[in-house]
Amino acid sequence: MSWVTKTLSSTLGKKLLMALTGLFLILFLVVHLIGNLQLLLPDNGESFNLYAESMATNPLIKVVSIGNFAFIILHVIYSILLTRHNKKSRPIGYAETAASTNSAWSSRNMGILGTLILIFLLVHLKGFYYEIKFGEVPMVDYAGIMYKNVFAIVAAAYSNVFYVVFYVISMGFLGFHLSHGFASAFQTLGLNHVKYSPLIQKVGIGFSILIPALFALIPIVMYIQSV
């Protein structure tokens, strides 16, 4: 084994990959949210459709999106490897534990939260990414040029109350996952400092509330508009 593979297969190396991919996905959430918020603009979806078109055609975005999928898969694979390793490290468990007295619930259940988010992600990709890329999408005319009316697909999905509830609950899971994951990634990278760590923790909590809440706001508002 070379020193690179040896390092990345150590417990610390695996954690490093979790932290780096996690931080990238955190950045992705921000970019994705900024795009999504255009759904709420009162222009019948024009700016969102133009934005969707530019995202689909920009070569730089294509490269980043391949990286994004790769990082999601890496994050999932390494979480499975680490969970299996960690389970093996304690083959016989305790009859009684008082874990709630020494650690936060979300920190102990990142695997469960991550699995729930993955289920949401698969449904989300099937409903939007796959449909828009490979399904039949209605077209819309803006100044003589035809665009895919992605807004119509989103609006149709968000008029379904079950989908909206599923979306909002999933954002709750995302919030709990981020409430531990954000600051935890910095700790794993070794960035623990008396000056910056309190700030990182506060930003992490703020991020884990604000970002999922704004994501969840969009389907709620669009559902209300649809009825």
Partner 1 sequence: MQLTLKIWRQKNASDKGGFVTYPVSDVSKDMSFLEMLDVLNENLTEKGEDPVHFDHDCREGICGTCSLYINGKPHGPLQTTTCQLHMRSFSDGQTITIEPWRAKAFPIVKDLVVNRSAFDRIIQAGGYVSVGTGGVPDANEIPIPKTIADLAMDAAQCIGCGACVAACKNASAMLFTSAKVSQLALLPQGQVERKTRAEKMVAQMDAEGFGACTNTGACEAECPKGISITNIARMNREYFSAVVSSENV
Which residues sit at the interface with partner 1, rule CB under 8 A? Answer: 2-3, 7, 10-12, 14-16, 82, 85-86, 88-99, 101-104, 107-108, 110, 180, 183-184, 187-192, 197
Shortest distance in whole angstroms from residue 84 CB to partner 1: 10
> What is the closest distance, in whole angstroms, from the C-beta atom of residue 100 to partner 1 in the complex?
9
Q: How far is the CB of 2 from partner 1 (least distance, A)?
A: 8
Q: Which is nearer to partner 1, 86 or 225 (CB)?
A: 86
Nearer to partner 1, 37 or 82 (CB): 82
| Residue 144: CB minimum distance to partner 1, A | 55
Closer residue to partner 1 (CB): 75 or 180: 180
Could you give the angle at the alpha carbon of 118 between the alpha carbons of 101 and 133, nearest 5°? 160
In 3D space, the residue among 110, 82, 89 whose CA is nearest the CA of residue 16 turns out to be 82
Contact between 219 and 227 (Cβ < 8 Å):
no
Least separation in angstroms between residue 91's CB and partner 1 is 6
Query: Is residue 218 a contact partner of residue 36, using CB atoms and an 8 Å limit?
Result: yes
Nearest to 119 by CA among 83, 67, 169: 169
Q: From CA 118, how far away is CA 109, in angstroms rounded?
A: 14
Strand, coil or helix: what is 96? Answer: coil
Residues 55, 86: Cα–Cα separation, whole Å: 40
As measured in angstroms, the least distance from the Cβ of 105 to partner 1 is 10
- C-alpha distances in Å from residue 120, one per residue of 55, 116, 172: 22, 6, 11
Q: Which is nearer to partner 1, 139 or 189 (CB)?
A: 189
Instruction: Tell me how far apart the alpha carbons of residues 175 and 76 are, in angstroms, rounded to a whole number.
Output: 18
3-state secondary structure 168-223: HHHHHHHHHHHHHHHHHHHHHCCCCCCCCHHHHHHHHHHHHHHHHHHHHHHHHHHH
- Would you say 183 or 216 has its CB closer to partner 1? 183
Is the CB of 15 or the CB of 32 nearer to partner 1?
15
**Least distance (Å) between residue 94 CB and partner 1:** 6
- Of 57 and 102, which CB lies nearer to partner 1 in the complex structure? 102
